[in-house]
């Protein structure tokens, strides 16, 4: 019995010893683990301090906005806007409650419903929703969705469909001063950065800084105490940039350029609207252009041609040569000279007017109105070409204007040979940018004081509402006197209002316009391009003429114009529309005495619609214009000019009465009339010489059909003395596209 008790006690002691040893081992392991964690701060490869921070610290990103770009009235042109990327959860394990699924349970039905909102093929969406991935996006159709689309999709309550919110740069109106504004876009990390234009140039001003908030909480997310650590970094929005552009005037400009592109399909348009008294640019645009939101068309034209494209200006340069000649006292408007051609010293090739046979002995004032190259060659010689160069420099045309836009280039003044110097006076040989011409023209419109152009009005910090940059009008000199500027305006007004003026198509009812047109030759591989429409047609115009409030430059390159048209059609399509609407928008009252009728001549005759009428009825009309009936038919099949167009008194209106009419006797006709007839009969016409018709290859009375070749020989002297003066003026107007 005692032996059994001893054994039992011994076992108890051994067991107790083992348990004690086990507990001691566990204790030392626990203590060791504690010291290990204390020393290393890691468990199973995880940093415990980081996990604790993630569990008990709440870190939130506070999004800031990139600075907005606004017009001069505060209307937004570019600003950040919320956008949403559509995603679909396909992982079935995300659903813990079958009553409230959190993954896509019906791929086909979901695809069909989304397709109608996203305006895409439901089969493509179904393919994405049927993949074996845990989560999918929807590519371009599901990216950058506006809030309205998001709400439409949310209203469907589709399981597994969610959104990721982003910021997107949004540009109002899309194609709106695109080369001026430029664009910004998000990089791979979602950060928006400027890529071109002002968006890139002003990156430091527009750039935002996101903020953050960090708070310690318990395991239930409740803030531990008022004294617990709180880290707060405020979001700093980018600065807002106010431009001198006026959204309304810019809209007028965009609409007018779109209309001209649609009608004439030119290779290029450049247009600038400025306030000549301050140098503020109120509108600037070009074609081809691109959509700032989609970037569609970006590869067609990356540069801002208004400041980055220099070319020979043509006759718009005569504005500044005229100003120099008046300032130097060598211009006398009533002085006479022989127009047509002028031989330079030691140069076998004369300087020609665009009408090479000229207009006889005319005054210098009429020479300006007719845009005579000979007149300006003579003026350049009178004042001296060195003096002319000094005026070109004083007008700022030998250096960049310094406009606050990126990538401005400067001029290329070709003054090596005497002919180059003379040619520069009427816009050939030397090349200038449109913005240089705008800056120089402010001196004409602003009483002799030249203003630097600029587009940035001010930059404002939205966080403090403080103006950090504010630009003011800056005078860059006075190249001419106030009296000279007034005289130049007077002469340029006559270019538009005179019966001889090349600017007649730019008359605006109710407003006087001072302007000078230009037709610039385009250099090609083997010399200058030639042929109808192969020019850069332009205008510098300002209104009202006596005290200009607006200054405009418009250039249209190589428009597709009919044989009977000149470059005034596409250029006036931009200039007249924008100038008139802008003057009205600015509440500049029209002059009730201002008329479209040119001085000394009435051109307000509108062509009626005569197609389908009998020849007898047409001939019996009172005050009938100069109708020329082609053919022996009894009814009018075709007419030119078209119904509604204005013609001057005595201008021929051609009426075709049969399919293969006989060609009339064209002896004594002007080139313009020949082209009108050839165009309506669709003849293949070759012109030889200048002046008026002396011979025609197809005998009068011979029936002609489409495609027949007609050769017409012109001589400078009109063979029929009874031809009227209206036709002479008409001829000179037609030839204006060859200045």
Q: Which of 654, 651, 648, 655 is nearest to 634 (CA)?
A: 655
* Nearest-angstrom CA–CA distance, 80 and 487: 50
DSSP state at residue 244: S
Answer whether the bond into residue 288 is a cis peptide, omega within 30°: yes
DSSP state at residue 490: H
Token pair listed for 178 = 């695109």
Contact present, 256 and 263 (Cβ < 8 Å): no
Task: Classify burial at 17, counting beta carbons within 10 Å of its beta carbon; exposed 0-12, middle 13-18, buried 19 or more.
Answer: exposed
Contact present, 729 and 499 (Cβ < 8 Å): yes
Token pair listed for 419 = 């002919």
Q: Which of 157, 152, 132 is nearest to 142 (CA)?
A: 152
Is 225 a known active-site residue? no
* Nearest-angstrom CA–CA distance, 501 and 514: 11
* Nearest-angstrom CA–CA distance, 515 and 701: 45
> What's the number of CA atoms in the CB half-sphere (13 Å) around residue 674?
28
Phi-psi region of 682 (alpha: psi -120 to 50; beta: other; left: phi over 0): left
β-pair type (535-543, 514-521): antiparallel
664 contact partners, CB below 8 Å, separation of at least 6: 628, 630, 677, 700
* Percentages (nearest 5) of helix, strand, coil residues in the chain: 35, 25, 40
Number of helices (H), then strands (E), belonging to the chain: the values are 21, 33
Contact present, 440 and 320 (Cβ < 8 Å): yes
Answer whether the bond into residue 641 is a cis peptide, omega within 30°: yes
* Nearest-angstrom CA–CA distance, 17 and 13: 6
Helix (H, G, I), strand (E, B) or coil at 424: helix
Q: Could you tell me which residues are beta bridge partners of residue 626?
A: 652
Gyration radius (Cα) of the chain, Å: 39
* Nearest-angstrom CA–CA distance, 375 and 358: 11
Answer whether the bond into residue 544 is a cis peptide, omega within 30°: yes
**Cα end-to-end distance, the chain, whole Å:** 141
The angle, 0 to 180 degrees and rounded to 10, between the axes of the packed helices 318-328 and 434-445 is 40
Q: Could you tell me which residues are beta bridge partners of residue 411?
A: none
Query: What residue ranges in 267-360 does DSSP mark as E strands?
Result: 268-274, 281-287, 336-338, 341-342, 351-352
Catalytic residue, chosen from 122, 315, 394, 430, is 315
Q: Rounded to an integer, what is the distance from CA 276 to the centroid of its chain?
A: 20
H helix or E strand, kind and range, residue 520: strand 514-521
CB atoms within 10 A of CB 575: 29
* Nearest-angstrom CA–CA distance, 187 and 170: 15
Angle at 137 between CA 135 and CA 143, to 5 degrees: 150
Q: Which residue in the block uniquely carries the two structure tokens 């005289």? A: 487
Residues with catalytic roles: 315
């Amino acid at each position: 019995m005692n032996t059994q008790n001893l054994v039992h006690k011994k076992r108890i002691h051994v067991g107790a010893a083992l348990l004690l040893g086990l507990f001691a081992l566990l204790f030392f392991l626990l203590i060791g683990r504690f010291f290990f964690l204390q020393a290393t701060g890691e468990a199973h490869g995880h940093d415990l301090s980081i996990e604790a921070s993630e569990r008990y610290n709440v870190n939130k990103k506070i999004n800031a906005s990139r600075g907005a770009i606004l017009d001069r009235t505060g209307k937004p042109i570019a600003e950040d806007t919320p956008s949403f990327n559509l995603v679909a959860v396909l992982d079935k394990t995300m659903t813990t409650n079958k009553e409230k699924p959190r993954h896509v349970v019906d791929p086909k039905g979901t695809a069909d419903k989304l397709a109608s909102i996203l305006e895409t093929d439901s089969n493509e969406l179904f393919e994405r929703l049927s993949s074996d991935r845990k989560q999918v996006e929807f590519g371009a159709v599901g990216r950058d969705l506006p809030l309205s689309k998001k709400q439409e999709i949310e209203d469907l309550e589709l399981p597994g469909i969610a959104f990721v919110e982003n910021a997107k740069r949004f540009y109002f109106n899309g194609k709106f001063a695109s080369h001026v504004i430029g664009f910004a876009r998000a990089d791979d990390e979602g950060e928006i950065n400027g890529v071109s234009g002002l968006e890139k140039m002003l990156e430091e001003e527009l750039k935002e800084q996101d903020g953050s908030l960090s708070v310690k909480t318990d395991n239930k997310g409740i803030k531990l105490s008022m004294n617990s650590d709180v880290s707060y970094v405020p979001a700093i929005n980018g600065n807002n940039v106010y431009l001198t552009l006026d959204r309304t005037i810019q809209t007028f400009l965009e609409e007018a350029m779109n209309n001209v592109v649609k009608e004439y399909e030119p290779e290029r348009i450049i247009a600038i609207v400025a306030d000549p008294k301050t140098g503020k640019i109120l509108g600037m645009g070009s074609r081809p252009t691109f959509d700032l939101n989609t970037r569609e068309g970006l590869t067609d034209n990356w540069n801002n041609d208004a400041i980055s494209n220099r070319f020979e200006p043509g006759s718009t340069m005569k504005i500044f040569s005229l100003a120099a000649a008046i300032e130097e006292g060598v211009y006398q408007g009533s002085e006479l000279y022989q127009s047509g051609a002028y031989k330079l010293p030691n140069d076998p090739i004369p300087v020609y007017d665009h009408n090479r046979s000229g207009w006889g002995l005319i005054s210098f004032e009429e020479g300006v109105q007719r845009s005579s190259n000979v007149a300006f060659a003579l003026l350049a010689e009178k004042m001296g070409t060195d003096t002319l160069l000094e005026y070109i420099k004083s007008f700022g045309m030998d250096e960049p204007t310094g406009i606050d836009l990126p990538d401005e280039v400067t001029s290329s003044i070709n003054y090596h040979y005497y002919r180059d110097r003379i040619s520069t006076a009427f816009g050939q040989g030397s090349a200038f940018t449109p913005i240089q011409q705008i800056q120089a023209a402010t001196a004409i419109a602003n009483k002799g004081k030249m203003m630097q152009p600029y587009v940035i009005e001010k930059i404002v910090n939205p966080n403090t509402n403080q103006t950090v940059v504010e630009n003011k009008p800056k005078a860059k000199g006075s190249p001419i006197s106030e009296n000279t500027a007034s005289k130049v305006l007077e002469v340029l007004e006559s270019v538009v209002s005179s019966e001889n003026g090349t600017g007649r198509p730019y008359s605006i009812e109710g407003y006087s316009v001072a302007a000078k047109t230009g037709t610039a030759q385009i250099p090609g591989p083997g010399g200058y391009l030639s042929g109808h429409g192969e020019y850069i047609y332009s205008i510098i115009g300002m209104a009202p003429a006596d005290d200009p409030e607006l200054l405009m430059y418009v250039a249209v390159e190589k428009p597709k114009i009919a044989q009977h048209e000149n470059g005034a059609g596409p250029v006036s399509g931009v200039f007249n529309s924008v100038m008139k609407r802008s003057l009205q928008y600015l509440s500049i009252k029209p002059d009730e005495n201002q008329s479209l009728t040119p001085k000394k001549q009435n051109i307000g005759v509108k062509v009626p619609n005569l197609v389908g009428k009998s020849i007898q009825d047409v001939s019996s009309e009172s005050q009938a214009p100069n109708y020329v009936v082609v053919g022996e038919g009894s009814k009018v099949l075709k007419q030119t000019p078209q119904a509604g167009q204005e013609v001057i008194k005595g201008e021929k209106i051609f009426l075709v009465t049969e399919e293969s009419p006989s060609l009339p006797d064209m002896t004594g006709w002007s080139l313009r009339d020949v082209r009108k007839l050839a165009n309506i009969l669709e003849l293949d016409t070759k012109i030889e010489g200048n002046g008026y018709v002396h011979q025609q290859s197809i005998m009068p009375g011979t029936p002609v059909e489409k495609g027949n070749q007609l050769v017409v020989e012109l001589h400078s002297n009109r063979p029929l003395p009874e031809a009227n003066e209206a036709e002479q003026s008409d001829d000179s107007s037609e030839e204006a596209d060859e200045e």
